[in-house]
Chain A
Amino acid sequence: MVQSIDHVALLPAYLAAGTAVLVLLVDLFTGRAVLPVAALGAAATAAGAWLVGTGADRATFCVRDGCSYLADGTGGLVAVLFALLTLGVLVLSAPLLRSGAVPVGEYCFLLACAMTGGVVLGYAGDLIILIVALETLTLPLYVLVGLRRRTVESAEGAVTFFVVSVVATTVTLLGAALLYALTGTVQLSALAARLGERTELRDVPLAAAAVVLILAGLAFKVAAVPFHAWAPAAYDGAPVPVAAYLSTASKLGGVVAILYVAVTGLRPWLDVAGPVLAALAVLTMTVGNLVALRQRRMVRLLAWSSVAQAGYILAPLGAFATADGRTGEALAVAAAATVAYTVFYVILELAAFGSVVALRPFAGDGGEIDEYRGAARRAPWVGGAFVLALVGLAGLPPGLAGLFAKVVVVRSLLDGGAGWLAIVVAVNAVVGLAYYVRVAALLFGVASAPRSRVPWAVAGALAVTTLVALVVGFAPQLVLDAADLVATR
């Protein structure tokens, strides 16, 4: 059978993969200007994905059951987000690359590869593309985590990450295989149709196991408890910009995968998936917040806090556990809330890590929290951006973006009839504030150090991210509209 392939639909993927190849060639032949090329490529990918996304919906690789590659607005938005995050992280890496602590060409190539995985993930219409894209997103990150030369922590983090992640992928694949055995399809929409038509499938042994396995495997990617143990070690061992990528782009990938699988693929079986997601959400936010309270290292604190944030991200999907939460409208509200929270979170998290990069020696790690004492006096603007990001992650004004993020989640939970989960989220927000405010207060402590100079690339990236955070804080409707778009796929 010969398929016609819609190359326009594939344009963003071509651009992303082309960036990776170009970076490799430029590094090989000239060895210079690698970072600008990579940054330009990422920007071009974002622009391409934007163009394709705003046009008519396209699809390709179609078979009888449906299409495996859907270039609609949803996919476009995800692809744009991935490309912009990659761009941000590339710019944040500029001083690190200049210091020579990591090989420039490899670093940019690997990031561009990861971006390719993320871009394709957004367009995934079947389980195979989804899993392959997710792996393409994650695989380069194992190497990036271990890229800091001559540091044991870096290698340790990379190995932990690698082993855990491979196991997770196996688990996901097993789940996908079981679903395929049940229904005979890997197309997400066809999967939903068959599960809905053939109710007798519920009685097949291992049917529930298939759902649990595939969700558990994907939960590794968002670092949800109990599949989170790799995150703190990997974040802390990695160069700080890579940690930023792990906690933003990589997490976004996991969230998108869970959304596609749970909401699109397993829609008729949400009564099975719902309790799993609710349990994951409660465990993740509670454990993440409680452990973060005791952290002494900055990146570890941010790592645990991002574990807790994954709990808030999954929380709206926990409403699927109740019958009220599974009606069509509630479903869309919950999915939109998850996407909206993720977008708000990704912006704030990037700002937080950007501040860490700006406040630290270029080639160093995140360091102890105590080393940040008085940082806001050495660099007032960076300190201000850091405080805004932390306060936003805690969900309080003046970090209005974070406040509205929490509001979206609580609102969707109450709409879905899961009031108890809303209270769990609310109480967790209080625990979270305890450590965010500790760090924020420390930044304004007294320390006698000269004013430090922030490289202009980092300062620029941080300023843009903070500005975006402020804008979506005052105009949250922008994010909410985009999230609605994603949820209506």
Chain B
Amino acid sequence: MSAGQVALVATLAVPAVGASVVAALPSRADRAARLVGTVAAAVTLVVSAALYRPGDGGWFSFGPNPPAIRPWHDLDVSWASGLDLRFHLGVDGISYPLVVLTALLTLLCCGYTLWHVPDPGRGRLLTALLLAIEVGILGTFLALDLVLFFVFFEVVLLPMYAVIAVWGGPDRRHAARKFVLYTLLGSVLLLVGVFTVVSAAGTGDIVALTAANPLSRGTQLAAFTLLALGLAVKAPLWPLHTWLPDAHTEAPTVGSVILAGVLLKMGTYGLIRVAVGVAPEGARWAAPVVGSLAVAAIIVGSLVCLAQRELKRLIAYSSVGHMGFVMLGIATLTATGLQAALIGNVAHGIITGLLFFLAGAVKDRAHTGLLDDLGGLRERAPGLAGVLGFAAIASLGLPGLAGFWGEAFAVVGSLRRGGPLWSTLAAIAALGGALTAAYFLRLLRRVSHGPASPVVAAMPAGLARPELASWGPLVLLALAVGLVPALVLGMAHDPVQALTEVVNR
């Protein structure tokens, strides 16, 4: 086994072992267990960051006809031949940013849990579940086998259900059940789609399927429909998004951060890697529908946000809009659009993760998330209001911050695609961008400005050091990705180029 393969396995094994150890520790060692979990998450971050391979990732090592996916590290072992299931892991420029983002957000959430355990306590179980979720998400991003991708996709479901159902808000049971049933519906459709491909092609190897594409047109259309439907529930794409606002609103802070930050990306990443890669003809066929729904999501999400009266719910609906931009980028099937989708994914993960941390901080202090009851945060807690302002502005897509690139280039990609449909979609999406600005500015006016409301006046002013520690990296990343988008786009350039060649072949 090479060092890269060891790192691939360790990326999954460290959080998995960590989760079991943390869960097995006795309840009187709660704090020590949380510490162990945080250390495991930190090790995972280091290991996953070490997966990076500078340069062009072995571009030339494949000879004259390189496959469309050229993983930096590759591990391929048979798991269950009777199911065409291979333990095939790999990482490349498309998955690497998401892998690191996942490891980072999990570390921040574990660290946050070290400091603050939401009711009803038992923080070590929360930490164990966060690590279990991390295994599922990382596995999904690393899998290069369709069946393995599906297995990891499913791993996330129940731990997330438990996080919402145990540590959530007052209506947590309903929200958790809605989340788990909706997303299971998505993943069973994904299962049928996966095996539509596997039975037709006789293999589940994503690399081979993307390179050779042995599927007939009919199979591709059926497979893309099933895969896209399944993944769109997770992403979520309007009108399949209705589980999301409830889940986000009720989930504890760390749950919301993981949910919005990386869990949704499993849907969009899967769409790029699996659905588009394996069934490009189906993707071309369905692109207008996906694009139209994506734009509808942008507009609907923005309009709902304008009328929203609860802080977390507003941020949740803003995710619907932002993921709409990502979906629009994917639907264009152009290099620009796919690049926009990738950086949009990362930016949304960073910024919305931060926003949910902040919303949690506000709700913990004020014990309410109703915009009507908040106000004047700037006067009472200038630090918190400042970071909130920064995150909101980053989220609305101010140039120079991370949110800008994804939204702008999705619109550009759509325009480049040309034709009346895509030009119209681009125009409407741009309008949606303006609406995004409107609702975030409304949010800031309601929360930060004006005279301090009674609840805000009563809340503690200062920021705890653990809070700063968990927000700081996200603030820096939002700036860094905003100023130097090449951080993400550079490594994604070659794989995206190769993928668009496959799609337009």
A residues whose Cβ falls under 8 Å from a Cβ of B: 391, 396-398, 400, 403-404, 406-408, 410-411, 414-415, 419, 422-423, 426-427, 429-430, 433-434, 437-438, 441, 444, 446, 475-477, 480-481, 484
Q: Which 4 A-B pairs have the closest CB atoms?
A: A480-B82, A426-B188, A414-B199, A397-B155
Residue on B nearest A387 in the bound complex, by CB: B158
21 A/B residue pairs, CB under 8 Å, sorted by A: A396-B184, A397-B158, A400-B151, A403-B154, A407-B85, A407-B147, A410-B191, A414-B196, A422-B195, A423-B189, A427-B185, A429-B188, A430-B185, A433-B184, A438-B177, A441-B165, A475-B80, A476-B82, A476-B83, A477-B82, A480-B83
* Given A411-B198, A437-B161: A481 touches B192 (CB 8 Å cut-off): no
Instruction: Tell whether, in the assembled complex, residue B195 and residue A414 are in contact, meaning their CB atoms are under 8 Å apart.
Output: yes
* Given A441-B173, A444-B166: A427 touches B191 (CB 8 Å cut-off): no
The secondary structure that dominates the B interface is: helix
Instruction: Tell whether, in the assembled complex, residue B191 and residue A396 are in contact, meaning their CB atoms are under 8 Å apart.
Output: no
By CB atoms of chain A within 10 A, which of B80, B84, B198 has the most?
A: B80
Question: Given A406-B191, A423-B189, 15 more contacts at CB 8 Å?
Answer: A391-B158, A396-B157, A407-B195, A411-B198, A419-B196, A426-B191, A427-B185, A429-B184, A433-B184, A434-B181, A437-B158, A437-B180, A477-B80, A477-B81, A484-B82
Residue on A nearest B150 in the bound complex, by CB: A407
Residues in B with CB closer than 8 Å to A397 are 136, 151, 154-155, 157-158
Residues in B with CB closer than 8 Å to A419 are 192, 196, 222
Contact with A along B67-99 (1 / 0, CB 8 A): 000000000000111111100000000000000
* Given A407-B147, A477-B81: A426 touches B189 (CB 8 Å cut-off): yes
Q: Which residues of B (161-212) have their CB < 8 Å from a CB of A? A: 161, 165-166, 173, 177, 180-181, 184-185, 188-189, 191-192, 195-196, 198-199
Residue on A nearest B166 in the bound complex, by CB: A444
Residues in B with CB closer than 8 Å to A438 are 177
CA–CA, A434 to B174, complex, Å? 11
| Candidates B151, B181, B188, B192; contact of A414 at CB < 8 Å | B192
CA–CA, A70 to B411, complex, Å? 70
CA–CA, A444 to B198, complex, Å? 39
Residue on A nearest B222 in the bound complex, by CB: A419
B240 → chain A, closest Cβ, in Å? 14
Instruction: Tell whether, in the assembled complex, residue B195 and residue A430 are in contact, meaning their CB atoms are under 8 Å apart.
Output: no
Instruction: Tell whether, in the assembled complex, residue A433 and residue B181 are in contact, meaning their CB atoms are under 8 Å apart.
Output: yes
A341 → chain B, closest Cβ, in Å? 12
Contact with A along B26-41 (1 / 0, CB 8 A): 0000000000000000
**Interface range on chain B (Cβ under 8 Å from partner):** 20 to 34
* Given A410-B192, A480-B80: A430 touches B184 (CB 8 Å cut-off): yes
By CB atoms of chain B within 10 A, which of A408, A415, A434, A477 has the most?
A: A477
Residues in A with CB closer than 8 Å to B161 are 437
* Given A397-B158, A437-B180, A444-B166: A426 touches B80 (CB 8 Å cut-off): no
| Candidates A391, A404, A411, A444; contact of B195 at CB < 8 Å | A411
Residues in A with CB closer than 8 Å to B177 are 434, 437-438
* Given A434-B177, A441-B165: A408 touches B151 (CB 8 Å cut-off): no
Residues in A with CB closer than 8 Å to B166 are 444
CA–CA, A484 to B81, complex, Å? 12
By CB atoms of chain A within 10 A, which of B79, B150, B177, B191 has the most?
A: B191
Residues in A with CB closer than 8 Å to B173 are 441
CA–CA, A430 to B157, complex, Å? 12
B146 → chain A, closest Cβ, in Å? 11
Residues in B with CB closer than 8 Å to A480 are 80, 82-83
CA–CA, A475 to B80, complex, Å? 7
CA–CA, A444 to B162, complex, Å? 10
Instruction: Tell whether, in the assembled complex, residue B151 and residue A403 are in contact, meaning their CB atoms are under 8 Å apart.
Output: yes
B120 → chain A, closest Cβ, in Å? 8
A441 → chain B, closest Cβ, in Å? 6
Residues in A with CB closer than 8 Å to B85 are 407, 476
Residues in B with CB closer than 8 Å to A400 are 151
A481 → chain B, closest Cβ, in Å? 7
CA–CA, A446 to B165, complex, Å? 13
Residue on A nearest B196 in the bound complex, by CB: A414
Q: Which residues of B (113-157) have their CB < 8 Å from a CB of A? A: 120, 136, 147, 150-151, 154-155, 157
Instruction: Tell whether, in the assembled complex, residue A430 and residue B82 are in contact, meaning their CB atoms are under 8 Å apart.
Output: no
A356 → chain B, closest Cβ, in Å? 21
Residues in A with CB closer than 8 Å to B157 are 396-397
CA–CA, A340 to B84, complex, Å? 15
Residues in A with CB closer than 8 Å to B154 are 396-397, 403
Residues in A with CB closer than 8 Å to B192 are 410, 414, 419, 422-423, 426
Residues in A with CB closer than 8 Å to B191 are 406-407, 410, 426
Residues in B with CB closer than 8 Å to A484 are 82
B353 → chain A, closest Cβ, in Å? 25
| Candidates B185, B188, B199; contact of A415 at CB < 8 Å | B199
CA–CA, A408 to B80, complex, Å? 11
Residues in B with CB closer than 8 Å to A406 are 191
CA–CA, A429 to B185, complex, Å? 8
B411 → chain A, closest Cβ, in Å? 36
CA–CA, A430 to B308, complex, Å? 31
Residue on A nearest B136 in the bound complex, by CB: A397
Instruction: Tell whether, in the assembled complex, residue A407 and residue B83 are in contact, meaning their CB atoms are under 8 Å apart.
Output: yes
A393 → chain B, closest Cβ, in Å? 13
Instruction: Tell whether, in the assembled complex, residue B185 and residue A411 are in contact, meaning their CB atoms are under 8 Å apart.
Output: no
Instruction: Tell whether, in the assembled complex, residue B180 and residue A433 are in contact, meaning their CB atoms are under 8 Å apart.
Output: yes
A404 → chain B, closest Cβ, in Å? 7
A270 → chain B, closest Cβ, in Å? 20
Residues in A with CB closer than 8 Å to B158 are 391, 396-398, 437
CA–CA, A105 to B88, complex, Å? 54
CA–CA, A477 to B84, complex, Å? 11
Contact with A along B238-267 (1 / 0, CB 8 A): 000000000000000000000000000000
Residues in B with CB closer than 8 Å to A404 are 80, 83
Residues in A with CB closer than 8 Å to B195 are 407, 410-411, 414, 422
Residue on B nearest A403 in the bound complex, by CB: B154
CA–CA, A414 to B198, complex, Å? 9
CA–CA, A415 to B191, complex, Å? 14
B140 → chain A, closest Cβ, in Å? 12
CA–CA, A391 to B159, complex, Å? 12
Residues in B with CB closer than 8 Å to A415 are 199
Residue on B nearest A432 in the bound complex, by CB: B184
A213 → chain B, closest Cβ, in Å? 34
Residue on B nearest A423 in the bound complex, by CB: B192
Residues in B with CB closer than 8 Å to A396 are 154, 157-158, 184
CA–CA, A411 to B82, complex, Å? 10
Q: Which residues of B (454-488) have their CB < 8 Å from a CB of A? A: none
Residues in A with CB closer than 8 Å to B196 are 414, 419
Instruction: Tell whether, in the assembled complex, residue B188 and residue A430 are in contact, meaning their CB atoms are under 8 Å apart.
Output: yes
Residues in B with CB closer than 8 Å to A398 are 155, 158
Residues in A with CB closer than 8 Å to B120 are 446
| Candidates A391, A427, A444; contact of B188 at CB < 8 Å | A427
CA–CA, A400 to B188, complex, Å? 15
CA–CA, A423 to B189, complex, Å? 7
CA–CA, A443 to B384, complex, Å? 40
Residue on B nearest A440 in the bound complex, by CB: B158
Residues in A with CB closer than 8 Å to B151 are 397, 400, 403
A161 → chain B, closest Cβ, in Å? 34
Residue on A nearest B186 in the bound complex, by CB: A430
Residues in B with CB closer than 8 Å to A407 are 83, 85, 147, 150, 191, 195
CA–CA, A396 to B161, complex, Å? 12
* Given A397-B158, A422-B195, A441-B173: A408 touches B181 (CB 8 Å cut-off): no
B420 → chain A, closest Cβ, in Å? 35
B81 → chain A, closest Cβ, in Å? 6
By CB atoms of chain B within 10 A, which of A419, A437, A477 has the most?
A: A437
Instruction: Tell whether, in the assembled complex, residue A430 and residue B181 are in contact, meaning their CB atoms are under 8 Å apart.
Output: yes
By CB atoms of chain B within 10 A, which of A414, A446, A475, A477 has the most?
A: A414
Contact with A along B216-229 (1 / 0, CB 8 A): 00000010000000
